[in-house]
Chains A and B, each alone.
Chain A
Amino acid sequence: MNPSIRILIVEDEPPIVRHIEWCTRSILRRDVQSIHIVHTIPQAIEFLNTREFDLCLLDLNLKGENGFEILSQFTGRPFHTIIISAYTDQAIKAFEVGVLDFVPKPFTEDRLCAAFQRYFDNNSRSKRAVKYLSVRRQNKYQVISVSDIQYFKALGSYIQLFLKNGEMEFADKPLTQLMQILPQRFVRIHRSYIVDIEQIATYGHCGGGTYQVTLTDGTTIPLNRQAHKLLQKYFRP
């Protein structure tokens, strides 16, 4: 049983709105807790600032505007974004900014269903991973390159990002959601940690049934048992 989700649909053409809603309900049935609809990007942003929800179905090009510039404001938040758009040539860039999926218009129910499945499958990894993550600096979203990140640490309602150059940033997306869009080299080694496996120097038992990982710069991070097995498989040729 999937948890029930709250959905935001951002689309300006009424017949298409109706169809997306109809398809969504037809696919998710009782898993839908709520569906809200807005017609413009400004309305959507106001909604995100005031309400919580889990999934956004977004058309990038409303009213002829290019929603791309503010897309990272969506993908930085603690919900997943699925783009439903006619501009297929923007798909790659959309993935690089961290959307969960890109559904080209006109879509079939099957295709939309596949996108929803990615949402619900916590273990799904992105075929085209995010390159630029939104981080929060003084209440504004800015974008950093994923290749600068060493590891993530969950801290209650937000996430800390530790960069290779020693700096630290904050993000709002939960680790589970991040895992679904990060490149394959990022591994969830602990309930509260995601690490770039290429940054690992050594790993091992540190006594009392606990394990830890040492990064190339000397930082140590806790490791859980399953992840330890995973690392063993990975590092042994």
Chain B
Amino acid sequence: MGDDTAWADPAYNAQEWDLAYPRAYNQGESGVHWYRAKFNFINKLNPHDNLNLEFHCLYSAYEIYWDGKSIGRNGIIGSSKQEEHPGKIVKFFPIPREASGPGTHTLAIRYSNHHQTRFRNQLLILGYHKQELLTYYQYINKSFLLMGIFLTAVIVSLAMAFSHRRNAIYHLFAAFCILQFLRASITPAVEYFNLNIEWLNLANWILYWMQYIKSIFALAFLLYHVNIDHKYVHLSAFGGIFLIPFLGISNHFFAHEFWLWAALLYFAIIMLIGVIKNRWRSGLLTAGYVLYILPSFCRRIGQPLPELTINITEILFIFSILFLLRQQIKQQRKQTHETELRSQRLEKELLKKSIQPHFIFNTLQSLISWIRENPVKAEELIQALTEEFRIINKIASEKTIPVLDEIELCQIHLDLMQFRLDAEYMLEVDGVDEEMAIPPMIFHTLIENGLTHAYDVGENGTFKITASREKASVKYCIMNDGSLLSSVNDDMIMNLEEGMGFAYIRTRLEEVFPSQWKLKYGQTNGFWEVVIQIDS
């Protein structure tokens, strides 16, 4: 045969032990069996090392005989499942030095395989002890490295999920990462702790179904990530399709391959829809998910990727998703910031509106006049002004205030303006209840408009504010009976809007009731009417 180190090569192993492979997978293999092989050693044994037989599973219980002598066993052989005691997953059997010299040697294995395993890396290696140990631990190290990487992803995704508790997408991704981690760690852990073969069966069963569950979570995550509707429909459909090959019943309906292809294509189509929908991040998104389905695709077309490549695609997928999620978080934060800024701007606008030069300085000028003409009235004017500022101060930083407070503000404002304009203004209110709430200074703006544009100098007037609830919305009507707006045509309306603070009103409504409000205005029965409708 060849050099010693060649014996440690699993590839060599596969050629030699062709016969062993199919046997290990044979279903219904019961009873006790024997296996024999002859080896011809050419060179002398290395004085510093010994030969070793390294078993990875193969059979659930066996006895080894080298040159006729027993050199060890794993588990207890039995002629039935109950009699058999399964052994450990990995076992090393040293070959005595005196039996390792040049010449022909015979290996005989007596085994039973009632606790058959579907272990991927079924190996029997004959080689130098140190080399075998080295290879074995290299394999374990590689596994732990992968576990470490996936564990990092788990920790990061859990941290994200924790800080975005309300968002399903982060939880789904964390679950996916955990499954990925478990998948990468179950087999190495079982091997590392060198448990009984029975544990391996359990581990394999878990891994088998974990593949299924992982795909479900991957699809769920994809659906949420690219925001596709009818998520549960898709999940059920995909789950059903993918379940058939997993249950092993696919040969009853079409063929095994058909179902696996169907599942793959389903996933790919959802992915495509998602990419088209989310154009702005499609580059990385496409790359990430293509990486995800690449191993499955290669398997389907008969060119399975090597294990290492598969691991790399998994890692790349996870980290591209992490990156995308982080981008999402950044964008959300930016939006929140912009919303906050807009809020602050609106508050500033409100305050500026209420202390506009036109208002303050003209009021003070008016006050000077009243002090001279009628000091009692002057004092009343001061009281009204104080009250108005008190209320504005109270409501300035709120997003919404009770409608009753807004009406109080309007009443005070009218009181004040009566002094300014030397006319009488009434405010009639109807239908407002305590629960109604709107953004601050909307009615106030409209009343201001009315006073400025609708009434002639010295003309008395009446303002009406009515509220009514209709099914799922609230309607507010703000009307005045000013003579100047009674003959307004469409051209004038366009010009009026600009000076009427409607921009403020619209921004405020949109901030608190996005896309849920309507604003109309016009002439109705001699009244100038503004109607605001808010859906709840």
Residue numbers of A with Cβ under 8 A of B are 12-16, 18-19, 22, 39, 61, 63-65, 86-89, 104-107
Cβ-defined contact, B357 with A19, below 8 A: no
Inter-chain contacts of A16 with B (CB < 8 A): 362, 365-366, 369
Cβ-defined contact, A15 with B420, below 8 A: yes
Interface size class of B (residues with CB under 8 A): 20 to 34
Cβ-defined contact, A19 with B453, below 8 A: no
A84 to chain B: closest CB distance in Å?
9
Cβ-defined contact, B373 with A15, below 8 A: yes
Docked Cα-Cα span, A152 to B499, in Å, equals 40
Cβ-defined contact, A13 with B360, below 8 A: no
Q: Given the interface contacts A14-B458, A18-B373, does A106 sit within 8 Å of B422 by beta carbon?
A: no
B143 to chain A: closest CB distance in Å?
74
Inter-chain contacts of A64 with B (CB < 8 A): 358, 452-453, 499
Docked Cα-Cα span, A35 to B438, in Å, equals 48
User: Which of A15, A19, A61, A89 has the most chain B CB within a 10 Å cutoff?
Assistant: A15
A63 to chain B: closest CB distance in Å?
6
Cβ-defined contact, A13 with B368, below 8 A: no
B448 to chain A: closest CB distance in Å?
9
Docked Cα-Cα span, A106 to B422, in Å, equals 18
Q: Given the interface contacts A12-B457, A13-B422, A63-B453, does A18 sit within 8 Å of B361 by beta carbon?
A: no
Q: Given the interface contacts A14-B458, A15-B419, A15-B420, does A86 sit within 8 Å of B365 by beta carbon?
A: yes
Docked Cα-Cα span, A16 to B369, in Å, equals 6
A-B pairs with beta carbons under 8 Å apart, 24 shown: A12-B457, A13-B365, A13-B421, A14-B422, A15-B373, A16-B365, A16-B369, A18-B369, A19-B368, A19-B372, A63-B453, A64-B358, A64-B499, A65-B499, A86-B357, A86-B365, A87-B358, A88-B357, A104-B361, A105-B362, A105-B364, A105-B365, A106-B365, A106-B368
A1 to chain B: closest CB distance in Å?
28
B370 contacts the other chain (CB 8 A): yes
* CB closest chain-A residue, reference B371: A19
Inter-chain contacts of A105 with B (CB < 8 A): 361-362, 364-365
Q: Given the interface contacts A15-B370, A19-B369, does A86 sit within 8 Å of B358 by beta carbon?
A: yes
Inter-chain contacts of A63 with B (CB < 8 A): 452-453
Cβ-defined contact, A107 with B365, below 8 A: yes
* CB closest chain-B residue, reference A40: B457
Which 3 pairs between the two chains have the least Cβ-Cβ distance? A86-B361, A19-B369, A14-B422
A86 to chain B: closest CB distance in Å?
3
* CB closest chain-B residue, reference A14: B422
Docked Cα-Cα span, A13 to B458, in Å, equals 9
**Seed contacts A13-B362, A88-B357; 14 additional CB < 8 Å A-B pairs:** A13-B366, A13-B457, A14-B422, A14-B458, A16-B369, A19-B369, A63-B452, A64-B453, A65-B499, A86-B361, A87-B358, A89-B357, A105-B361, A105-B365
* CB closest chain-A residue, reference B422: A14
Inter-chain contacts of B372 with A (CB < 8 A): 19, 22
Inter-chain contacts of B366 with A (CB < 8 A): 13, 15-16
Inter-chain contacts of B499 with A (CB < 8 A): 64-65
Partner of B421, one of A14, A19, A65, A88: A14
* CB closest chain-A residue, reference B367: A106
